[in-house]
Amino acid sequence: MATERSAPAAWVSLLLLLLLVVVAAGCCAGAADVDEQMRRGGGRRGSRRRRAADVMVPITILNSAVHKGAVCMDGTPPAFHLDPGSGAGNRSWVVNLEGGGWCNNARTCRFRTGSRHGSSHFMERRIAFTGIMSAAPADNPDFHSWNRVKIRYCDSASFAGDTYDEALKLHFRGQRIWEAAIEHLLAAGMASAKQVLLTGCSAGGLAAILHCDQLRALFPDGATTVKCLADGGLFLDAVDVAGGRSLRSYYGDVVAMQKVAPNLPKTCTDHLDATSCFFPQNIIDGIKTPIFLLNAAYDVWQIEQSLAPNSADPSGAWRACKFNRSACNASQLKFLQGFRDQMVAAVRSFSESGSNGLFINSCFAHCQSELTATWNNEAGGSPALHNKGIAKSVGDWYFGRAQVKAIDCPYPCDKTCRHII
């Protein structure tokens, strides 16, 4: 009886197994076809309507970088995603440096090797390009037809470290990853670019600031317009709620552990210590390449991790406020307004340059250029200053259509914000 009952179950299991094999084979074959198309330089879609699958941009593993020592923390090759330009955008490039925080000790750095922020083994094989990376004209009117590339982040020091920790068996080669990726892109056509925009969000925004002049130096003939956009990268050397400097201590560990100092702007390190020169407020005035700073005055990452981290708030007095702005009491709001004032002061000299741009809104947010809802979702009400959204502001600045030096009034005056908390 047991044998008679198990026979139908066995046939069902066999049929299910065969079905899974067929589906998997079809899926993998399709993925291989797309990857091969990108390797051959395909993927240029011109004016053709994009298929839904084209929104997801496949990864390119940069195996050729390994012999240069340009590797992720676990020794795997670096990677990028490229969606080629078309038409008038063929000779223009958006180069996006992925963000994702940092690591400052053995425990946190080892942990990241098991994630996409420390190993290309764990990186998504396809990612969506949205916001400033979008190929949709309605979402990204000024840059949709450009070559758009995202360089993946797996070094944990904003593409700026350069050392190998023998005891930990960890590679901190962010500077080499930057150089290898840019060298590859130059050879792939960027060397003849008419226009380049280096961008990044969060730790990638800091990286865009750190590498802005380095990129400009690769186009010495002046035939290429090079500018940089730092989104959510204006990290401040601020006093925390306990009177300490939590982020400065953290940055000090990152800079020392990953040997960042030699790759910091010399215009800063010639008179300040290396940790100070990892803070954008001490770098931006010395950068010669035009930069646009896009930042929320109430940057939620900085509120949670720099101003009121758990280590500075052991009683939990700030716990409700830092995750819900409406839960902040009067004294907490006053403290946050002081942080905004510090940010405004930090960009005062920077804003005097006619080539630089600013969009500092009074939102509780972090990174606003890579999401459609905050970049250019006019129908849904994207953030705006002086009746101008972020995409229009960045485009006006990049193409010289108008100067953009927009700083919002203090919270809660802005009704266009997409608050995170």
Task: Tell me how many domains the chain contains.
Answer: 1
Tell me how far apart the alpha carbons of residues 162 and 392 are, in angstroms, rounded to a whole number. Answer: 37
The CATH code of the domain that includes 155 is 3.40.50.1820
Residue 145 domain-assigned (yes or no): yes
pLDDT for position 81: 98
Is position 380 within any domain? Answer: yes
Which pLDDT tens digit goes with each residue over 257-272? 999 999 999 999 999 9
Whether 202 is a known active-site residue: answer yes
The amino acid that residue 340 corresponds to is R
Q: Which residues contact 160 (CB under 8 A, 6 or more apart)?
A: 174, 175, 178, 207, 210, 211, 258, 260, 263, 264, 278
Per the residue annotation, which of 237, 246, 366, 382 is the catalytic one? 366
Rounded CA-CA distance 295/368 in Å is 8
Residues 6+ apart with CB under 8 A from 322: 300, 303, 304, 307, 308, 421
321, 328 in Cβ contact below 8 A?
A: yes
* Domain that includes residue 108, residue range: 33-407
* pLDDT exceeds cutoff 50 at 220: yes
- For residue 13, tell me if it sits in a domain: no
**8 Å CB contact between 281 and 234:** yes
Residue 297 inside a domain? The answer is yes
341 or 20: which leads in pLDDT: 341
* Average pLDDT for the chain: 89
Question: Which pLDDT does position 378 carry in this prediction?
Answer: 72
Asked whether residue 303 is assigned to any structural domain, the reply reads yes
Tens digits of residue pLDDT in 64-114: 999 999 999 999 999 999 999 999 999 999 999 999 999 999 999 999 999
- Whether residue 15 is contained in a domain is answered as no
Cβ atoms of 394 and 229 within 8 Å: the answer is yes
CB 234 within 8 A of CB 351: no
Of 131, 54, 43, the C-alpha closest to 86 is 43
- Find all residues with CB under 8 Å of 293, minimum gap 6, and list them: 230, 233, 234, 284, 347, 350, 356, 357, 358, 359, 360
Q: Is 13 a catalytic residue?
A: no
Query: Active site residue: 240, 299, 313, 408, which one?
Result: 299
- The pLDDT score that the predictor gives to residue 23 is 33
Report strand pairing: 170-172 vs 79-83.
unpaired
pLDDT category at 24 given cuts 50, 70, 90 is very low
pLDDT at 55: 72
- Is residue 89 a contact partner of residue 137, using CB atoms and an 8 Å limit? no
Q: What is the pTM of this model?
A: 0.87
Q: Is 419 a catalytic residue?
A: no
Which pLDDT score is estimated for 380? 66
At 53, is the pLDDT very low, low, confident or very high (cuts 50, 70, 90)? very low
Backbone angles phi, psi at 346, to 5 degrees: -65, -25
Residue 318 has pLDDT above 50, yes or no: yes
- Which listed residue (92, 134, 145, 202) is catalytic? 202
| Position 414 in a domain | no
pLDDT value, residue 219: 97
pLDDT band at 379 (very low <50, low <70, confident <90, very high): low
CA distance 257 to 105: 7
**Share of residues in the chain with pLDDT > 70 (%):** 87
Where does residue 223 fall: left (phi above 0), alpha (psi -120 to 50 degrees), or beta otherwise?
alpha
Secondary structure of residue 300 in the 3-state scheme: helix
Range in 15-24, 94-103, 334-343 the model is least confident about: 15-24
* Nearest alpha carbon to residue 263 among 278, 280, 242: 278
The whole-number pLDDT of residue 228 equals 98
Per the listing, tokens 């925009």 go with: 197
Q: How confident is the model at residue 26 (pLDDT cuts 50, 70, 90)?
A: very low
**Whole-angstrom distance, CA of residue 134 vs CA of residue 96:** 12
Query: Residue 119 has which token pair?
Result: 């190993």
- Please check whether residue 21 lies inside any domain of the structure: no
pLDDT of residue 9: 40
Confidence (pLDDT) at 34: 28
